[in-house]
Structure 1
Amino acid sequence: MGYALSTTVNQPFEPVLYAARSALVEEGFGVLTEIDLAATLKAKLDVDIPAQVILGACRPPLAYAAVQAEPSIGLLLPCNVVVRAIDDTTTMVEAMDPEVMVTMTGNENLAPVAADARERLTAALAALTA
C-alpha cells in the first residue's frame, strides 16, 4: 500500500500553493499550520531545495471522530499536504493517504473517518487539475 495521494499540476509553484489552500477549504478543511520547508532549511542549514510548503490541514468533525475511535491518533494529525516545485512550470501536490491511519493503528473503527478524509483530499487534489 502506498502512503500518498498525489497530483502533478502544470503550473508554477505559487499559484498552485494558493489553489491548494482554496481547494482544502472547499472540502471543509482548515489549514492549521504552514511550514515553508525550503525557507527553514535555508535559514537553519544554508542549503537550497526547490520551493516546498507543508500545509497541516484539519477538518474538526473528522479529527473529533478519529480521537473518539483512537485516543492516540493525534500523533498522525493533522493531514499533511505538501506542495512542492518540480521545476518552474510544474508543481507536485501530495497528501498522506488517511487509510494509513487504519493500517498503522490496526483500528478498523477509524475506517469511516479515513474514508471520508480520503474522499475529501482526493477531491481537493482533483480540483487542482480541473
Structure 2
Amino acid sequence: MRKQLVAYGMSLAAGTAALQWLDYQRLVRSHAGDIYVFLIAIAFLALGVYLGARVFGKSGHVVIDGNPRALEALGISPRELDVLREIAAGRSNKEIAARLNVSPNTVKTHIARLFEKLGAKRRTDAINRARELGIVS
C-alpha cells in the first residue's frame, strides 16, 4: 500500500512539473520580446553601475598634510593639533581626554591656547579657521 501511495505521489509530482514546464514554455514564447528587453535593461544597468563606480567612485578629495607653514607660523604644537583634530571630529572634552590619555583640564588648556592662536571664540570658529588654513579636513 505504501509503495502505491509513493508511486501515485511521484506520478502526480511529475505531471505537475510537466504542466509547469509547458506553462513556462508558453510564457516564454508569448513574451519573448519583453524578456529580451528586460535582460538588455539589466545588462545596461549593470554596465552603468560599473562605469559610474569607476568614474565617480574615486572622489577628488584633497589630502590635507596639516599645512606645516601655517602650523609653524601660528605656533601650534603637535599635541594641540591632535586636540584640534578631535574637536573637528565633534568630540567633547571628556572624549578627547580619554582618547589622548590626558586629563580634561589639559584638554581645556590646549583648547584655550588654540582659541588664542587661531583667533577664535568658539569651537566652530576654531574649526572653520583651521579648515581655511588647511590644518584639518
Same-fold call, TM > 0.5? no
TM norm structure 1: 0.27
- Asked which structure has the greater CA Rg, the reply is 2
Q: Which one has more relative contact order, counting CA pairs under 8 Å at least 6 apart?
A: 1
TM norm structure 2: 0.26
More helix by percentage: 2
